[in-house]
Homo-oligomer: A and B are copies of this chain.
Amino acid sequence: MAKETTGEKADENTVFVGNKPAMSYVLAIVTQFKNSDEVVIKARGRAISKAVDAAEITRNKFVTDAKIKDIKIGTDSVVNEEGNNFNVSSIEIYLTAGKK
């Protein structure tokens, strides 16, 4: 996954959802929960639906004690290859699982 240099700290417990099948991200989220009590799922544009799918599949089938702590939506300004500016919606889903 490309490293972002947005000034945002690159949290190790963050899963960025993109073009792969939802189950790829479910696997990433489940793996993150082995190291952390909290996992943040981030997505932009049309991947937002897949981020919600991945969170729900994780909660329903794999990490059944995981709870949704918070969900944030926002708008990111993006420059495309032609140099045009456009806006894209984003989502951040904060999942927590019971402290062991």
Contacts and interface: CB of A to CB of B under 8 A. Distances in A.
Interface of A: 45-49, 52-53, 55-56, 60, 68, 71-75, 87, 89-91, 93
Contact of A74 (B48, B56, B73, B87): B56
Contact of A73 (B46, B87, B90, B93): B93
Nearest to A22: B89
Contacts of A72: 71
A60 B87 CA distance: 11
Nearest to A53: B89
B89 A52 contact: yes
Contact of A60 (B56, B75, B90): B75
